[in-house]
Amino acid sequence: MKQLLLLSITLTTLTCHVIDIELTEVEQAPQRYYDVYNANLTNHRNAVYMGQISLGTPPQNIRVIFDTGSTILWVPSVKCKSTGVLVNNCKTGSNLFSFRKSTTASNTTYTFEEKYGAGKAKGWVFGDLLAFGAPDTKNLKVRSKVHFGLATEIEYSDDAIFGLPSQDYYNPYGNVHKSIFHQAYYEGLFNNPIFTIHMNRCNSTKCRKSGKITFGDVDRQNCDSFIHWTSVDYRNPGWVFRANGLKINNNVHLFNTAVVSDSGTTNIVLPTALCNNVIGDLKPKKIRDNTYILPCNTTTYFAVAIDQQEFPINTKELLIPLNAEDTKAEGSDMCRLAVSCSSKSDTRPTK
């Protein structure tokens, strides 16, 4: 049993995150007919970044969160039921998928359930045609049907999730891909088994084109020439690697533990003991349980050590604008600190 530290690297530690996927050998290399595909992301309060996919025939537009912490694609179904603090789609009837309106949809009759630290989604596994991008854009179609979860019961958040696991998993009901990115690569859509997520900052509640996901290569527009590669634990479906410590100003917190990069998580989530040390170093104001604020113009040195190298994080990447209620109470010059303490035990098996 070892401590597991959760880093939302794509949002709060690095604004450009490159993923290189290790692939198993196939008997015949697929024919490549597309090298790189880029899609813009919409930024909601520097916390949630959403892109678009097309699903079904005729294509239905679905907004998704590209999530390295999930293994599958799941979308909320028409007539779904959702409960929790971040639910909206099921109630308003927006961003839902109707399999009855798709002539190519097929119900496998298998069920799915995807669980998260907070919340879950459950429903049925469907097969249908998918394209990267909205229906009215120059999108990129996956050649064969993909399998996805059509969620009928959802807790905490009912936004659709596009899972980007570190390896290809196969569904229990047949030899079909569970990872859509792996499926697209094996079908020849991309030249390299790499994707990059760039998340930019936004000074308003919602900014379009304030981020980009690049399938098939490094985002050379937003990433600099230096890329540090580190080994990933392929026994785990998440992007799990080793980190050596944190440095905050002159305070160093050493450890050697597994961390996971999760593009769907807003905060850096730390084990309780380490989190208390970090909170002690930064000295933020606590406004409620596990929620801390600092002046938006705060400057400090914050770095994570990977492979004995320091990777500094710009302080502004750790500060998120407050919602309207908190802004009214605390002032427009205060921001939420994107660091929180784990609500679970400090120890979790790293397999």
| CA gyration radius, the chain | 20
H helix or E strand, kind and range, residue 278: helix 272-282
Domains of the chain and CATH, by start: 37-214 (2.40.70.10), 232-342 (2.40.70.10)
161 touches 264 (CB < 8 A): yes
Residue 142: helix, strand or coil by DSSP?
Answer: coil
Active site residues: 67, 262
What length is written for the chain?
A: 351
47 touches 67 (CB < 8 A): no
Q: Which residues fall within 8 angstroms of residue 65, CB to CB, at 6 or more apart?
A: 48, 49, 50, 159, 160, 161, 162, 263, 264
Query: Residue 328: phi, psi to the nearest 5?
Result: -65, -35
Positive/negative CA dihedral, 291, 253, 116, 166:
positive
Residue 132: helix, strand or coil by DSSP?
Answer: strand
Residue 101: helix, strand or coil by DSSP?
Answer: helix
H helix or E strand, kind and range, residue 26: none
The pTM assigned to this predicted structure is: 0.85
The DSSP call for residue 13 is: I
| pLDDT by 10s per residue, the chain, length 351 | 333 454 443 333 345 666 665 444 333 444 444 578 998 999 887 778 999 999 999 999 999 999 999 989 999 999 999 999 889 999 999 999 999 999 999 999 999 999 887 899 999 999 999 999 999 988 999 999 999 999 999 999 999 999 999 988 765 555 456 789 999 999 999 989 999 999 887 776 778 778 899 999 999 888 888 889 999 998 888 899 999 999 999 999 999 999 999 998 888 999 999 999 999 999 999 999 999 999 999 999 999 999 999 999 999 889 988 988 999 999 999 999 999 998 654 433 333
